[in-house]
A and B are shown apart, each in its own frame.
Chain A
């Protein structure tokens, strides 16, 4: 009996040693030479393989970064500045500071303000619905509510609100990878800067039809009246094709546009205080009055000089 045990142990041990030698030799012979920095960079990356950087996964990003030698074409929106600093340190180069972005759903057309005109009964996909017809409301541009954006998000950051029928973005989870924006056939979702302490202003409407038509379809539509454009003292708002757009680079978050908007199409997010529309309107009126007086004083001065 013990003989059997001894022989078994000996043979298995010898086999194990022989095979591990074979494996060691194979690993050496077939090793692929790779820049070790690729592995290092890959370790610092989030590992989500979401494609938000434009590359086919985190390893492809690392590979491209090392081959290029610089980070001009590489930015990881999921990891953000922290991760990019680490990658830059490994490569020994500079990295641009990019403001963190977040997905913004630019449609106000909830079930409450945008009545349904027919019932849709096809496949539950926004792409199919958009290809079929103008939608089940009077607005041809608004959210279709089938959730292609929700399906596209790999971080669970966007969900459909059952009451309003519109998608809602969870800022904590959103990595601004851009998949939801690409999935939306109506191009409602935009990646905008998060803003200082998360505060931002945007126009929640993309309806390009004339004011009365848009308003008939949705009570919170942008009617292209231009009040916001006239009020803004920073030149951040342009009205084109009957719809207003706030340029996030120029917006100073004064919220005057939000106060004067007649339909409430403009939204402010994450502001600490509730917007007191009357107070802001008064402020605008006072400023206009002072400007008018100053202009009159100028004219009088010129007359007396001339």
Chain B
């Protein structure tokens, strides 16, 4: 026998690993990616490919050549960021804008804070907001989905959220806007313009259930976000249905589901304790509804998450685990 190994206890380890967790997240995103491919075709795939390659490649380059610490590179986590970023972008986004978004998300938001586990803000969302602010035209250029593998010549239009927002600003009521555009409120799986993430509500739900079963996420943050959104939408819609959109509409549009299931539950940028997570979720719900109803942006999920990310260190200081023996 070779030299025996000596180490402090414990001497066994659970089968979990960081790579394994990231792989589970990627698997959970596959149903939503498939649905978006079905609706938007190869252009969406191109955005996805550019985003993933850029994120992974940039992280490797930065870790290896800028910081000279190859250990700082974590491929699966960069891949998850790439996928989430792509799911937040319209399929007509030019490749160079996607690349710039990846550069910002990985380089500025993740690596400059110290790499995996050290960032304060969610890289995918921060990247998306950066692109929204820097290239507003390209970023709000949504396509109507085609059912076959049609490429970039699908008809371009606005998202339902921005349509309604514009309509409300000009004094119309919601009913007027919907009638003018030939839409109705039941749009679970149907053709509405939006980034791929918005369309695949059921696919997202399936992915989320997979994560719950694998015990990768806990349900508190998504539940508190969705319940808060539903509560606020329910109250406002009941009071004034003509000017405030209802529960179903608010839950299913604007990336609320994608944000609640996959972005707000990101380990690094969310609180450590369960009650802290509830506070975090309620905060996100309140902010997103305030932006939607009273702010000038049509949808506020990204901003809501980023704003609550700032509060996470404070939340962590306020909410601690219940310790044994201390009442």
Contact = CB atoms under 8 A, between A and B. Distances in A.
Contacts of A132: 6-8
A121 interface: yes
B6 A133 contact: yes
A128 interface: yes
Contacts of B6: 118-122, 132-133, 136
Interface residues of A, number: 12
A123 B4 CA distance: 17
Please tell me the size bucket of the interface on B.
Answer: under 10
B323 interface: no
Contacts of A136: 6
Nearest to A117: B3
A42 B264 CA distance: 50
Interface in B1-40: 3-8
A216 interface: no
A116 interface: yes
Contacts of B8: 122-123, 128, 132
Contacts of A121: 5-7
Contacts of A120: 5-7
B324 to A, nearest CB: 24
Contacts of B7: 120-122, 132
Contacts of B4: 118-119
Scoring B3, B6, B8 by chain A CB atoms within 10 A of each residue's CB, the highest score goes to: B6
A135 to B, nearest CB: 9
A57 B7 CA distance: 38
A41 B98 CA distance: 57
A121 to B, nearest CB: 4
Interface of B: 3-8
18 contacts: A116-B3, A117-B3, A118-B4, A118-B5, A118-B6, A119-B3, A119-B4, A119-B5, A120-B5, A120-B6, A120-B7, A121-B6, A122-B8, A123-B8, A128-B8, A132-B7, A132-B8, A133-B6
Given A117-B3, A120-B5, A120-B7, 18 more contacts: A116-B3, A118-B3, A118-B5, A119-B4, A119-B5, A119-B6, A120-B6, A121-B5, A121-B6, A121-B7, A122-B6, A122-B7, A123-B8, A128-B8, A132-B6, A132-B7, A133-B6, A136-B6
